[in-house]
């Protein structure tokens, strides 16, 4: 679980996309376009695995989709089905070896996986599988487990079911065989996965925005614990649990998902707008302008502005062309790093009382730099408002978070946080207010806020996970 210590943000976990082609669609272009629309979910590496005339091939690279794929290698992507992946590593080293999808051969053929999430007991499961592993990614543990059951002459459906019984954590993964596309979502539905259709071809995606981009019709979200098998016979659904409760990660709505996505019937943009309105109800303050921290803080800032009737302004310009994995080698250059990513429109904040809305505070280092940028630009007052509840607990369910000791809110009260950030006031939305913004009965995982995680025996599994991480440095 490597994380960039210079960047004070939760990291997007990964994004997956798959298509089963029954109408001779250009699967190369559709997969390429879809992965581009999911780029916000991972920028370290990307790849596509495809099946053409019974042969499965792979194209992968480090960096962004636009940098990895070109006309030459896209022309090779043909056939009946494909799966694609954009990665930010929460488990396993960041290198091409761990880039996904992972394609593997076993004694009955070849199979590939693209996985979003984190398996907490991956190493324990790995120790029970008598196979050689090529990567340090937990995704390969899922794949090898399924293979081990297939080699015992179980069908693909039963092999997946048996694997779901032993792996613990969060997952939305796609499998590709020579003649099928398969999607699986964990029993709590922590990570998103949806189904779409373009003509007679089915697609699976982490977010609905990818369906919009390629002109696919949104069908529905995959249910928690559901297995979707798509082949020449059509789409088959297998529900492994009765009456599931979808406990989507709260940060999918706060930060990870693109604003134009709909996840488990919740419109992400509308929800963030409601967060801002609720934030004003709970933490009002008089000021001259409201600004948001791009990108995920913008909708909440607009909601705060509308509820308060305080004018909304653009306060920051974000550099959209710098990769999120930019690492500064020295302290002096690190200080410049924030300005490279984000700069203030000084004329909009000078001599004004400014309310700045951000989606979260993790360590507080970036938040403090944002405050300093505003003050250096001449802001008279800076009032910080946060559209998520206090982050007090780390997460190992597919988010790359610091340890509890590094979380600002884990050991500091609101007054101490105000002093550390050197702001004139600070306010967070409450957990109750956050839940009320859904406007309908909705279960979400809020473990990072309240320490209650939906995975059974999470604390025991987490202790094992950290023990392994501390002893090996990286899984």
Instruction: Walk me through the domains of the chain, giving residue ranges and CATH numbers.
Output: 14-247 (3.60.20.10), 267-450 (3.40.50.2020)
Q: What is the pLDDT of residues 258-309, one digit of tens each?
A: 999 999 999 999 999 999 999 999 999 999 999 999 998 999 999 999 999 9
The neighbouring-strand residues paired with 59 are 48
Determine how many CB atoms are found less than 10 A away from the CB of residue 159.
Answer: 21
Q: Is 283 annotated as a binding residue?
A: no
Q: Is the pLDDT of residue 205 over 90?
A: yes
Per the structure block, which two tokens stand in for 384? Answer: 């910080």
Lowest mean per-residue pLDDT among 22-31, 43-52, 136-145, 466-475: 466-475
Task: Please report the pLDDT score of residue 474 as a whole number.
Answer: 34
227-248 CB burial, b ≥16 within 10 A, e <16: bbbbbeeeeeeeebeeebebbb
Distance of CA 39 to the CA centre of its chain: 10
Angle separating helix axes 365-376 and 414-421, nearest 10 degrees: 50
In contact, 359 and 367? CB cutoff 8 Å: no
Confirm or deny that 358 is annotated as ligand binding. yes
**Average pLDDT of the residues of the chain:** 90
Write the Ramachandran bin of 353: left for phi over 0, alpha for psi from -120 to 50, otherwise beta.
beta
Active site residues: 14
Q: Which residues, including other chains, have CB under 8 Å from residue 189's CB and lie 6 or more apart?
A: 221, 223, 224, 225, 244, 245, 246, 247, 248, 264
Structure tokens at 224: 């928690």
Where is mean pLDDT largest: 316-320, 325-329, 365-369?
365-369
Query: Is residue 310's pLDDT more than 60?
Result: yes
- 451-466 tens-digit pLDDT: 999 987 776 566 655 5
For 413-431, how does the pLDDT look when each residue is reduced to its tens digit (9 = 90+)? 999 999 999 999 999 999 9
The reported pLDDT for the residue numbered 90 is: 54
Q: Is 288 one of the annotated binding-site residues?
A: no
- Rounded Cα distance, 363 and 370, in Å: 13
Q: What is the rounded distance in angstroms from the CA atom of residue 212 to the CA atom of residue 235?
A: 21
**pLDDT for res 106:** 95
Q: What is the pLDDT of residues 6-42, one digit of tens each?
A: 345 565 579 999 999 987 779 999 999 999 999 999 9
201 annotated as ligand-binding? no
pLDDT of res. 332: 52
The pLDDT assigned to 134 comes to 92
Task: Give CA 462 to chain center in angstroms.
Answer: 20
| pLDDT for residue 10 | 60
Q: Pick the most confident of 9-13, 169-173, 402-406.
A: 169-173
Is position 249 annotated in a ligand binding site?
yes
The pLDDT, as a whole number, for residue 320 is: 74
Across 37-46, 133-142, 326-335, least confident range:
326-335
Model-wide pTM > 0.85: yes
Helix, strand or coil for residue 97?
A: helix
């Amino acid at each position: 679980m490597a994380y960039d210590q210079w960047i004070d943000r939760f990291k997007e976990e990964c994004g997956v996309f798959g298509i089963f082609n029954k109408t001779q669609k250009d699967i190369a272009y559709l997969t390429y376009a879809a992965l581009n629309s999911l780029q916000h979910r991972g920028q370290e590496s990307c790849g596509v695995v495809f099946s053409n005339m019974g042969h499965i091939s792979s194209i992968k690279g480090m960096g962004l989709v636009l940098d990895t794929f070109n006309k030459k290698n896209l022309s090779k992507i043909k056939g009946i089905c494909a799966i694609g992946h954009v990665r930010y590593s929460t488990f396993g080293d960041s290198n091409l070896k761990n880039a996904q999808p992972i394609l593997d051969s076993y004694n009955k053929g070849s199979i590939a996986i693209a996985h979003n999430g984190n398996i907490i007991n991956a190493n324990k499961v790995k120790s029970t599988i008598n196979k050689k592993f090529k990567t340090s990614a937990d995704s390969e543990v899922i794949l090898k487990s399924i293979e081990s059951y297939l080699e015992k002459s179980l069908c693909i459906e039963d092999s997946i079911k048996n694997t779901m019984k032993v792996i613990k954590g969060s997952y939305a993964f796609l499998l590709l065989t020579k003649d099928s596309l398969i999607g699986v979502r964990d029993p709590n539905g922590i990570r998103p996965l949806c189904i779409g259709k373009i003509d007679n071809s089915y697609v699976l995606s982490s977010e609905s925005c990818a369906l919009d981009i390629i002109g696919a019709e949104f069908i529905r979200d995959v249910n928690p614990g559901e297995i979707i098998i798509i082949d020449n016979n059509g789409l088959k659904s297998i529900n492994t649990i009765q009456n599931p409760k979808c406990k989507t990660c709260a940060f999918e709505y706060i930060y990870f998902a693109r604003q134009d996505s709909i996840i488990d019937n919740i419109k992400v943009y509308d929800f963030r707008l409601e967060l801002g309105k609720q934030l004003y109800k709970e933490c009002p303050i008089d000021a001259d302008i409201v600004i948001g921290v791009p990108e995920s803080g913008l909708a909440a800032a607009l909601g705060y502005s509308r509820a308060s009737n305080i004018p909304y302004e653009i306060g920051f310009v974000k550099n959209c062309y710098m990769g999120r994995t930019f690492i500064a080698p020295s302290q002096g250059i690190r200080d410049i790093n924030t300005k490279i990513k984000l700069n203030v429109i000084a004329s909009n904040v000078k001599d004004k009382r400014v309310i700045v809305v951000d989606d979260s505070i993790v360590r507080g280092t970036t938040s403090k730099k944002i405050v300093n940028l505003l003050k250096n630009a001449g802001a008279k007052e800076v009032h910080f408002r946060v559209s998520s509840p206090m982050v007090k607990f780390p997460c190992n369910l597919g988010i790359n978070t610091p340890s509890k000791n590094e979380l600002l809110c884990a050991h500091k009260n609101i007054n101490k946080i105000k002093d550390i950030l050197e702001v004139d006031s600070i306010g967070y939305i409450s957990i109750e207010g956050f839940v009320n913004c859904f406007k309908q009965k909705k279960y979400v995982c809020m473990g990072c806020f309240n320490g209650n995680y939906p995975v059974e025996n999470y604390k025991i599994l987490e202790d094992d996970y950290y023990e392994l991480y501390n002893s090996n440095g990286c899984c």
